[in-house]
Amino acid sequence: MTKKVFNRILFGGDYNPNQWPKEVWQEDMRIFKNAKINSATINVFSWAKIQPSETDYYFDELDEVIEMLTEENYDIVLATSTAALPAWMFKKYPEVARTDFEGRHHKFGQRHNACPNSLVYQKYAEKLAGKLAERYGANPRVTCWHINNEYGGECYCDNCEKAFRVWVKNRYQTIEALNKAWNLEFWGHTIYEWDEIVLPNALGEGIDYDNTAFAGISIDYRRFNSDGLLNNFKMEREAIRRYDKATPITTNLMGTYKTLDYFKWAKEMDIVSWDSYPSYNTPWSYVALTHDLMRSLKKEPFMLMEQTPSQQNWQPYNSLKKPGQMRAQSYQTVAHGADTIQYFQLRRSVGACEKFHGAVIEHVGTEDTRVFRETAQLGTELAAFGDSLLGAKNESRVAILFDWENYWALEYTSGPNKDLKYVDQIHQYYRYFYDKNIAVDFVCSEEDLSAYSLVVAPVFYMVKEGVKESIEAFVQAGGTFVTGFMSGIVGESDNVHLGGYPGPLRQLAGVWVEEIDALAPEQTNSIQFIAGKEGTSRLLCDIIHPETAEVLANYTSNFYAQTPVVTKNSFGEGTVYYIGTELDADSLDYCLEQAVLSADVHAVLDEHTPLEVVLRQTDTEKFYFVMNFHEETQKLPAAFVGKSDQLTGQVLTEATQLSQYDTFVIKA
Ligand code: GLA
Ligand code: ZN
């Protein structure tokens, strides 16, 4: 079923008229109209203006902004401003600041700087959210609430330490259970009282952000921190709901951002929104991955809350988007499930660190720029075709397992190979499906798998309680499951599943992994498939004993030459592939090809094409997005000959070609 949250595609973005004199506001309205901008995200960083002191609130300016946007019939995305605290709050209550990983307690400065467990911060954030909802919640032009901004980071202050002890006690109930879960007998770190627990930063068990002496403690700290920030979100949400029962509430997420368990967060949000900032060299498959991940959090359309119309300021090399690139990138976002296209920001800052960040209106102050013309073209196209697409679904029979706790645990391991990175591994598998135009969802460990016929779980290191049963049931019923090295190793507290790797997945995969070899970047092993194909192996190499599995490929070098590296096992009605190393792309494709055949999964289009083709569908209509992200011109797939492009009305023929960034949307 199509789920519509908005009545039109929101097209706009972060707008900060509070940083500009009033004369500019009217000029903004005039210029934005020419780009068909219909939405503005306001009040993201205005706490200091709205609450200039502990007792005073001042809404006059925001009233005027909202009045102006209401008159212009904008969809207002109203932020709560709690992501940057006013200076007076730090001066009077230094506890609102964070203590960082090194143990330094911060002063006023930066943003995203509140201690999530500070009662003072909580009190004033809640009050502000409530006041905003009371004042503006009934305005029908307020279309969406935007709580805070890009929640993230960590705090290691004394307040957080106390809150952590309470959280830990709640989770483990007894000191004995805690000592066991964290394996504190190791190095004689056994504790006897709850107040002996300290936060795992550089003053405790932490070494740096990704290294710790006790992963069990550090993973629990991450759970606690993600939950703590989520409680801040929920608190503001409840404050808004006291006055406004219906307007959707979101906060902007950041793709594969490590610190927050976004699957858990999404359950508390009415709609997922996120900020997409690929770099000049980010592969398009990776950009697509992040959109699919964000859509998958709720398996519903999402908001693109921010992208730049041209360049960023905060990356090492802030390249311009080439002509047509922003358009293509925007349609790719819509193709993967976005119902909004919003920019950061609508007018470029005059000062501070974002003055080199692109915007719809550049420093020249007029609409006579390339960036504006491209924005206006997109706005005009979206206004013409957009609404029929709202709420359309992306259907998929393939799921890739992406689990934040697994992400944390995998990257905390001391050994076997420091180059093992979770998202990079996920991307290697995702890229195959992207290249083949096979639609993919992401799932977390706890999710019901019955909607899928193929589930891929790369580096599925942490297998939590109950998960083995769910995967076994999926395969038993005929599903195809792909996993491999560094899987099934630990449970939820990072203690090893004893009895041979891959622990709970051993029977399922039909293999026992006796040892794991690590290869340095300059080292590779060679492999050969039984069918003849040769390939290479990198990073980590499982030394495998097949138990019930059939061998598909063996190593052909090193002391474990002639032992298996890829296997296939029958389990119930289904099939399990085990890939015991990081394969070269061609060999990985070869394995996944077989998994796709065994799962009877199909591409969006029968014809193979280097173009990206994505299908979104409503209850009655199908929209094919056809995009060329290659430098070389590509020919139109035969299936689309004779159709017309919804964006330009162009009738597509056998002679139609797509240059780089050309995009068609075809209705079927
Ligand atoms: C983030 C923030 C914005 C802005 C942009 C710049 O996404 O949410 O406030 O700083 O980055 O790219
Ligand atoms: Zn704190």
362 and 251, same domain (yes or no): yes
- Shortest-distance atom of ligand 1 to CA 254: 7
Instruction: Determine, yes or no, domain membership for 218.
Output: no
CA distance 289 to 344: 21
Q: Which domain holds residue 660?
A: 612-667
Instruction: Determine, yes or no, domain membership for 425.
Output: yes
- Shortest-distance atom of ligand 1 to CA 275: 7
Q: In the chain, pLDDT over 70 holds for what percent of residues?
A: 100
**At 650, which CATH number?**
2.60.40.1180
Task: State the ligand closest to the CA atom of 313.
Answer: 1
Q: Does the reported pTM lie above 0.85?
A: yes
Instruction: Determine, yes or no, domain membership for 201.
Output: no
563 and 648, same domain (yes or no): no
Q: Do the beta carbons of residue 343 and residue 311 sit within 8 Å?
A: no
45 and 114, same domain (yes or no): yes
335 and 462, same domain (yes or no): no
pLDDT at residue 1, as a whole number: 65
225 CA to centre of ligand 2 in angstroms: 10
564 and 638, same domain (yes or no): no
CA distance 36 to 130: 32
Tokens 């491999």, residue located = 484
pLDDT at residue 385, as a whole number: 85
Going by CA atoms, what residue is nearest to atom 12 of ligand 1? 312
Tell me the mean pLDDT in the region 618-637: 97
When divided into structural domains, the chain yields a total of 3
Active-site residues, by number, are 150, 306
108 CA to centre of ligand 2 in angstroms: 15
- Shortest-distance atom of ligand 1 to CA 150: 8
| 634 phi, psi to nearest 5 deg | -125, 155
- The answer for residues whose C-beta is within 8 angstroms of residue 173's C-beta and 6 or more apart is none
Tell me the mean pLDDT in the region 336-352: 98
41 and 150, same domain (yes or no): yes
Tell me the mean pLDDT in the region 509-524: 98
Position 525 pLDDT exceeds 90: yes
Q: Name the strand (E) or helix (H) holding 266.
A: helix 262-266
Task: State the ligand closest to the CA atom of 117.
Answer: 2
Of 618, 53, 585, 11, the closest CA to residue 326 belongs to 11
pLDDT digits (tens, 9 = 90+) for 1-13: 678 899 999 999 9
- Shortest-distance atom of ligand 1 to CA 312: 12
CA distance 504 to 319: 47
DSSP 441: E
Which protein residues touch ligand 1 with a CB less than 6 Å away?
Answer: 149-150, 275, 277, 306, 312, 314, 344, 354, 357
Q: In the chain, pLDDT over 90 holds for what percent of residues?
A: 98
Neighbours of 188 (CB within 10 A): 6
518 and 622, same domain (yes or no): no
Going by CA atoms, what residue is nearest to atom 7 of ligand 1? 275
pLDDT digits (tens, 9 = 90+) for 197-242: 999 999 999 999 999 999 999 999 999 999 999 999 999 999 999 9
pLDDT at residue 3, as a whole number: 80
**At 413, which CATH number?**
3.40.50.880
Please identify every residue whose CB atom is under 5 Å from ligand 2, which is an ion.
115, 117, 155, 157, 159-160
Instruction: Determine, yes or no, domain membership for 168.
Output: no
Query: Which amino acid belongs to residue 530?
Result: I
Instruction: Determine, yes or no, domain membership for 604.
Output: no
DSSP of 194-249 = GGG----STTTTEEETTEES-HHHHHHHHHHHHHHHHHHHHHHHHHHHTT-SSS-E
315 CA to centre of ligand 1 in angstroms: 12
Could you say which of 345, 364, 385 is where a domain stops? 385
Could you say which of 336, 353, 385 is where a domain stops? 385
Instruction: Determine, yes or no, domain membership for 186.
Output: no
Task: State the ligand closest to the CA atom of 16.
Answer: 1
CA end-to-end distance (rounded Å), the chain: 18
pLDDT digits (tens, 9 = 90+) for 414-427: 999 999 999 999 99
- To test the pocket of ligand 1, the residue of 18, 82, 353, 354 to mutate (highest count of ligand atoms within 8 Å of its CB) is 354
286 and 337, same domain (yes or no): yes
124 and 39, same domain (yes or no): yes
pLDDT digits (tens, 9 = 90+) for 554-610: 999 999 999 999 999 999 999 999 999 999 999 999 999 999 999 999 999 999 999
378 and 402, same domain (yes or no): no
- The answer for residues whose C-beta is within 8 angstroms of residue 199's C-beta and 6 or more apart is 156, 160, 161, 164, 221
Q: Do the beta carbons of residue 236 and residue 126 sit within 8 Å?
A: yes
360 and 242, same domain (yes or no): yes
Tell me the mean pLDDT in the region 35-57: 98
Could you say which of 351, 385, 419 is where a domain stops? 385
CA distance 255 to 571: 34
pLDDT at residue 103, as a whole number: 98
Position 360 pLDDT exceeds 80: yes
234 and 99, same domain (yes or no): yes
321 CA to centre of ligand 1 in angstroms: 17
What residues form DSSP beta bridges with 453? none
Instruction: Determine, yes or no, domain membership for 116.
Output: yes
